[in-house]
Amino acid sequence: MKTGFDNDKYLTMQSEHIKERISQFGNKLYLEFGGKLFDDYHASRVLPGFAPDSKLRMLMQLSDQAEIVIVISAGDIEKNKIRGDLGITYDSDVLRLIDVFKERGLYVGSVVITRYAGQNSADVFRSRLQKLGIKVYTHYVIPGYPSNIPLIVSDEGYGKNDYIETSRPLVVITAPGPGSGKMATCLSQLYHEHKRGIHAGYAKFETFPIWNIPLKHPVNLAYEAATADLNDVNMIDPFHLEAYGETAVNYNRDVEIFPVLDAMFEKISGESPYKSPTDMGVNMAGNCICDDEACKEASRQEIIRRYYKSLNGLVYGTSTEEEVMKIELIMKQAGITKTDRKVVTAALQRSEETDGPAAAMELNDGTIVTGKTTDLLGASAALLLNALKLLAGIDHTKKVISPAAIHPIQKLKTEYLGSRNPRLHTDEVLIALSTSAENNPDAQAALDQLPKLAGCQVHTSVLLSSVDIKTFQRLSIQFTSEPVYESKRNFHKK
C-alpha cells in the first residue's frame, strides 16, 4: 500500500501545537485524548504511514510536563464491553494501558470510574485497582446531561464528582474506547479547579473526524463506519461556520456538548476562549496527508471491512440491523460496494468452484492467492500455506510440511482433546511448518515469509474460528468473512 501520511511531520507539528495550547491557559491544560492513544490501528489503516503508536510517541516528547488519567465507564465495566481490535474487556485494557504508559516512562496519576450508579462490578474493579496502589476517583450520573446546563454546572452536578488531584501542567484524559466520559471528566475538573481558584483550560485531541478535509471524504466516512454502533454523525460545525464563515468538520457529540463547555468558561473567566467545537481541537493530522488518493482508497477498504464486521456481529448478536444499515448508507456515500474488496470476489468464486469453504488473500503487490478446505487443512490454513509458498518461490504442488509433523497434531486434536475436526487451523499449520523447517529448507524458506503478510487482505466464504482470527491479528493481516457458519448446526464454537 502506498504511503499517504507523513508521520514525522505529524509528530513535530502535533507536539508543538499542544505546547502552544498549554501556554494559552496559564500552564494547566486538561487534554482529552479521543480515540486510541496507543495501538491506534484504525488511524494506521485509513492513513497509511500513520504509526499505531504515533500519539504515544508524540506524548513522550512532553513526558516531563504530562500526567495521564484513564477514564472508564461503570456501565462498560458492568457489561464487560470488549475492545474489538484486541479482544479484551475495557477494564482489562485499563490495566494494560497503565503498564504500557509506565514502560514508556509516562506518569499515570489515577483512574476515574464515570457514570457510577452503584454497579457492583465497578466496586469490585475499584477495589482491585486500589489493591494495586492505583488512585481511583468516582464520577456520577447527572440527570439531564448534557442539556440541563444549570444543573450540570453546579454543586449538584459536577460538584458531586470527586476532584482528581493532579500535579503536572498537562493532564491527558484517555480511555480504552469511545463513550467513556472523557470530556465530562475534563469539564468536571475545570469546575473544581475554578472553585479552588486555579486557572485551567481544556482542549481536545481527536484524530477523527479530520476537521480540515471534506465532510464526505472517505477518511471521515470511515470514522462514521467505525463508530456506527455509537450513532456518531459527522457534520459541519455550525458554531464555526457562524463565527468565522468557514466550514469545518466535527461530529454530533462535540456539537451537542459545546454549549456546556461555553457555559463553563463563562463561569470561570467571564468569557469563552473558544467560538466553536472545532476551536477546542488541537489535531494536526489533516495537515500531514501527503497522498490524498492513497488515504481515500485505504479508507474505502476500511469501510467495507467495517461492513462485514457488522454483518458478522448480527450472527453473533453483537451488532444491530440499524448499525448494518448505517454502514450500507456510508458505502453508498463513498460510492463503493463489497465487490470493491478484491478478495471478496476471489474467495466466493473459489468457494463456488470447490463447493466448500474457501479463502482468498491479496498480497501487498496485488497478487491474489486462494485456498480451499481439504482433508488436512481448513481453508484459512491452506490459504496461509499457499501464500507463504508463493512468496518463497516454491512450486504450489510441492509439499513443505512433513506428514510426520501433521499426524501428531491431528491425533492430539481428535483422540486427546475431543475435537471432531481433524483439519489444521492456521496456528497449527504454522507449528507443523516450524517443525518441518528443521530438516526441510523449503519449509524454512516459507516460514521466513511471515513478516511479508503484514497488511495483506483476506476474505473467507465462512465465518472464521477464534483461533484463525487471533492468528491473522498476530500477523497483522486485515480480514473479513461472509456472515455464515461452515456447518448448519445450532451450536458453534467461535
| DSSP symbols for 443-467 | HHHHHTTGGGGTT-EEEESSPPPHH
Pairing of β 66-73 and β 170-174: parallel
Closest among 116, 235, 104, 97 to 177, alpha carbons compared: 97
Pairing of β 201-205 and β 29-33: parallel
CB 49 within 8 A of CB 6: yes
Section 117-131 average pLDDT: 97
Same domain, 185 and 37: yes
pLDDT surpassing 60 at residue 461: yes
- Indicate which CATH number applies to the domain containing 97: 3.10.630.10
Residue type at position 479: F
Q: What is the pLDDT of residues 227-236, one digit of tens each?
A: 998 888 999 9
206/219 Cα distance (integer angstroms): 14
pLDDT band at 306 (very low <50, low <70, confident <90, very high): very high
Q: What is the pLDDT of residues 21-59, one digit of tens each?
A: 999 988 899 999 887 777 788 999 999 999 998 988 999
User: What integer pLDDT is reported at residue 487 of this predicted model?
Assistant: 65
pLDDT surpassing 90 at residue 403: no
92/350 Cα distance (integer angstroms): 40
Same domain, 19 and 86: yes
Residue 251 domain flag: yes
Residue 486 domain flag: no
Which cell numbers hold the place of 311? 454483518
DSSP letters along 194-236, please?
HHTT---EEEEE--SS-TTS-TT-HHHHHHHHHTGGGT--EEE
Closest among 216, 218, 253, 213 to 233, alpha carbons compared: 253
Same domain, 255 and 392: no
Same domain, 80 and 11: yes
User: For 142, phi and psi rounded to 5 degrees?
Assistant: -110, 115
Q: What is the pLDDT of residues 249-275, one digit of tens each?
A: 998 988 988 888 888 888 777 788 899
For the ranges 106-120, 189-203, 378-392, the lowest mean pLDDT is seen at 189-203
Residue 437: C-alpha distances to residues 383, 391, 400, 442, 456 (Å): 19, 16, 8, 7, 24
289/316 Cα distance (integer angstroms): 37
pLDDT surpassing 50 at residue 356: yes
Cβ within 8 Å of residue 152, ≥6 positions away: 142, 144, 145, 146, 158, 260
Closest among 58, 56, 1, 66 to 29, alpha carbons compared: 66
Residue 303 domain flag: no
Indicate the residue among 252, 268, 291 that finishes a domain.
Answer: 291
Residue 113 domain flag: yes
Residue 377 domain flag: yes
Q: 424 pairs with which residues across the strands? A: 377
Pairing of β 29-33 and β 170-174: parallel
Residue type at position 248: A
361/384 Cα distance (integer angstroms): 8
- Indicate which CATH number applies to the domain containing 389: 3.40.140.40
User: What integer pLDDT is reported at residue 489 of this predicted model?
Assistant: 55
Which cell numbers hold the place of 408? 501428531
Which cell numbers hold the place of 340? 470493491
390/371 Cα distance (integer angstroms): 12
Closest among 488, 478, 481, 486 to 222, alpha carbons compared: 478
The boundaries of the domain holding residue 214 are 7-291
Closest among 287, 153, 286, 112 to 215, alpha carbons compared: 286
Same domain, 75 and 172: yes
Q: Give percent above pLDDT 90 in the chain.
A: 76
Same domain, 281 and 418: no
Same domain, 388 and 474: yes
For cell 456472515, the residue is 483
Q: How many Å is the Cα radius of gyration of the chain?
A: 25
Same domain, 213 and 152: yes
Q: Report CA 211 to chain centroid distance, whole Å.
A: 19
Residue 298 domain flag: no
Same domain, 271 and 364: no
Closest among 83, 172, 76 to 125, alpha carbons compared: 76
Residue 1 domain flag: no
pLDDT band at 413 (very low <50, low <70, confident <90, very high): confident
Cis peptide before 146 (omega within 30 of 0): yes
Same domain, 191 and 285: yes
Same domain, 383 and 255: no
Residue 73 domain flag: yes
Closest among 249, 233, 208, 461 to 329, alpha carbons compared: 233
Which cell numbers hold the place of 337? 460496494
Note if the pTM is more than 0.95. Answer: no
First to last CA, the chain: 31
pLDDT surpassing 60 at residue 491: no
CB 53 within 8 A of CB 38: yes
Same domain, 56 and 155: yes
| Domains of the chain: total | 2
- Mean pLDDT, the chain, integer: 92
241/480 Cα distance (integer angstroms): 39
